[in-house]
Amino acid sequence: MYNAASLKAEEFISDEEIRETLAYADANKENVELIDAIIAKARERKGLNHREASVLLACEIPEKLEEIYALAEQIKQDFYGNRIVLFAPLYLSNYCVNGCLYCPYHLKNKHIARKKLTQEEIVKEVTALQDMGHKRLAIEAGEDPVNNPIEYILECINTIYSIKHKNGAIRRVNVNIAATTVENYRKLKEAGIGTYILFQETYHKESYEKLHPTGPKHNYAYHTEAMDRAMEGGIDDVGLGVLFGLELYRYEFAGLLMHAEHLEAVHGVGPHTISVPRVKHADDIDPSAFDNGISDDIFAKLCALIRISVPYTGMIISTRESQEVRERVLPLGVSQISGASKTSVGGYAEPETEEEVTSAQFDVSDQRTLDEVVNWLMKLGYLPSFCTACYREGRTGDRFMELCKNMQILNCCHPNALLTLKEYLLDYASEETREIGEAMIERELARIPNPKARETATEHLKRIGEGKRDFRF
């Protein structure tokens, strides 16, 4: 029944295969010989399949875990270097016809404030985001064919790209909206989106149906097969994710990797990103109502194992996580984080007060400003990047993966990070952040291996200093 190349959800995410995988992992969690062989395979940087990775997830031998963490750090260094790409979510509308039990946007919630941004309000939100220094957004919306039809989403994308406030610009819009049709995915592609992101929430079909009792999202197959339709519609950067806390994490982890293997088998390219959200408190949502919450230790283990299992897939951590947790998982393989996020509709231009009826999707743990996040990253030795070059240069799907596989990041992504950081420092940073950043750019410039690339980057940096913007490799 299990078939990674099938286009049927229940065949490429086979419940039977996951159960057998978990039994195999349990039976082998102390099998040091096998564990060593799996770690040795991961060391070759070719990734692991769901069975192999599940054995490592089940393994609790301290020395082996140390090896896994060290390897995750090494792979992250080799493929991504010290860059961390920054983005912000932009909530367009919280009208929703679904009944998701973990989300306060569910239809029956009558005490949340329902809002939908007008195009004028989008101008205000995006201006506020540009004034912070953001260049990359992930737009979010509830599912509501009447209030948020695809035409509304397309109009919003158009507006977002058209706004140019001072030196600001949004250069990449990623989209996190409900599963839709091939035709709509094609329209999103034509509107110039970056990644299409859709969280599976849970790969466990029975739980999925219970957690989504009503609305179009109830349909497990339609949701699970969405990425295939997105790819058919021409979108070749897709982002997967599981909402950890809903189901057993080991089940979800196997499902997530099977989904990645499926995309590779059918489309020849794996997911562009994987997100690892955990259920958070929200308006009428109490995370303790779900039995499968995971500890920070397990969370870190999952991040490290994702890194070594799919080395070419970016990993995203949102502000659902605290500064402390983010600091812990950054070295284990995270490549993108959000900063200064607001999860309410209209929250950037007009932050909601404590007294107001909220429109937010969940509570944000990391509440720092973008300047504080940039400053903190640099103090930890990370290079904050506002780069959006790849998809604008047509490096999507397997073309981006090639860059990563050929370890060309230091000659391409690294200089792009320096150029966009320079723009940020000149246009938006506090004095202290600017000082730290200028020193960092000096140091990092010397690390570009190719002399020609280093020379070009130096020249571009000079031009940025003279007021020019938007150079890229």
Report the DSSP beta bridge partners of residue 138: 89, 174
Determine, following the binding rule CB under 6 A, whether residue 461 of this chain makes contact with ligand SAM: no
Q: Which x/- pattern over 360-399 shows residues binding ligand SAM (rule: CB under 6 A)?
A: -xx-------------------------------------
Say whether 111 sits in a helix, a strand or coil. Answer: coil
- Member of 243, 305, 337, 429 binding ligand SAM (CB under 6 A): 243
Site residues (CB under 6 A) for ligand SAM, limited to 294-323: 320
Give the interface segment with ligand SAM, choosing from 70-78, 280-288, 303-311, 433-441 (CB under 6 A). Answer: 280-288
Task: Specify whether the CB–CB gap between 333 and 345 falls below 8 A.
Answer: no
Determine, following the binding rule CB under 6 A, whether residue 414 of this chain makes contact with ligand SAM: no
Determine, following the binding rule CB under 6 A, whether residue 83 of this chain makes contact with ligand SAM: no
Determine, following the binding rule CB under 6 A, whether residue 222 of this chain makes contact with ligand SAM: no
> How, if at all, do strands 136-141 and 83-93 pair?
parallel
Neighbours of 168 (CB within 10 A): 22
CA–CA dist 353, 362 (Å, integer) = 15
Determine, following the binding rule CB under 6 A, whether residue 24 of this chain makes contact with ligand SAM: no
Give the interface segment with ligand SAM, choosing from 276-284, 298-306, 396-404, 422-430 (CB under 6 A). Answer: 276-284
- Member of 71, 279, 316, 370 binding ligand SAM (CB under 6 A): 279
Task: Specify whether the CB–CB gap between 252 and 242 falls below 8 A.
Answer: yes
Question: In angstroms, what is the minimal distance from the CB of 358 to ligand SAM?
Answer: 12
CA–CA dist 188, 220 (Å, integer) = 22
Determine, following the binding rule CB under 6 A, whether residue 103 of this chain makes contact with ligand SAM: yes
Question: In angstroms, what is the minimal distance from the CB of 426 to ligand SAM?
Answer: 33
CA–CA dist 85, 382 (Å, integer) = 10
CA distances from 416 to 74, 79, 463 (A): 22, 15, 14
Question: In angstroms, what is the minimal distance from the CB of 255 to ligand SAM?
Answer: 14
Determine, following the binding rule CB under 6 A, whether residue 229 of this chain makes contact with ligand SAM: no
What single letter denotes the amino acid at residue 66? Answer: E
Dihedral pair phi/psi, residue 310, rounded to 5°: -130, 75
Question: In angstroms, what is the minimal distance from the CB of 65 to ligand SAM?
Answer: 27
Instruction: Output 201 or 261, the one with its CB closest to ligand SAM.
Output: 201
Neighbours of 10 (CB within 10 A): 16
Phi-psi region of 175 (alpha: psi -120 to 50; beta: other; left: phi over 0): beta
Question: In angstroms, what is the minimal distance from the CB of 416 to ligand SAM?
Answer: 28
Site residues (CB under 6 A) for ligand SAM, limited to 118-177: 140, 142-143, 176-177
Determine, following the binding rule CB under 6 A, whether residue 252 of this chain makes contact with ligand SAM: no
CA distances from 250 to 41, 51, 110, 177 (A): 21, 11, 35, 26
Report the DSSP beta bridge partners of residue 315: 274
Determine, following the binding rule CB under 6 A, whether residue 102 of this chain makes contact with ligand SAM: yes
Instruction: Output 201 or 225, the one with its CB closest to ligand SAM.
Output: 201
* Residues present in the chain in total: 473
Q: Which residues of the chain form contacts with ligand SAM (CB under 6 A)? A: 102-103, 140, 142-143, 176-178, 198-199, 201, 217, 243, 277, 279-280, 282, 285, 320, 361-362
